[in-house]
Amino acid sequence: MSIDAAIPRDRNVIKKEAEKISKYKDLITKIHRMWNVAAKVISVIIGASGTTSKSLRQYLNNIPGKHEIKKMV
């Protein structure tokens, strides 16, 4: 499992998330072929203004341990 985090300056959270997923797609394939193990990249992208993608909770659920997302008012 590889975790890649980024904090873009603006609201391009979805664009940055797509970049991270496509960036590591070949690496995941190579790891699977070399060691015959399941590989996964988890992209944690949170905008500087607090913007998150809809899939952030799904990605965080794949990370072991206790964590939560709190909505700030």
3-state helix/strand/coil string of 4-67: EEECCCCCCHHHHHHHHHHHHHHHHHHHHHHHCCCCCEEEEEECCCCCECCCHHHHHHCCCCCC
Question: Is 72 part of any domain?
Answer: no
- What is the per-residue pLDDT for 33? 92
Number of separate domains in the chain: 1
pLDDT tens per residue across all 73 residues of the chain: 888 888 888 778 888 888 888 888 888 999 999 999 988 888 888 888 888 888 888 888 888 888 777 776 6
- What is the per-residue pLDDT for 68? 78
Question: Is 34 part of any domain?
Answer: yes
**pTM value?**
0.69
Question: Is 37 part of any domain?
Answer: yes
Question: Is 31 part of any domain?
Answer: yes
Question: Is 32 part of any domain?
Answer: yes
Question: Is 22 part of any domain?
Answer: yes
Question: Is 69 part of any domain?
Answer: no
- What is the per-residue pLDDT for 73? 61
Domain holding 32, by residue range, is: 2-61
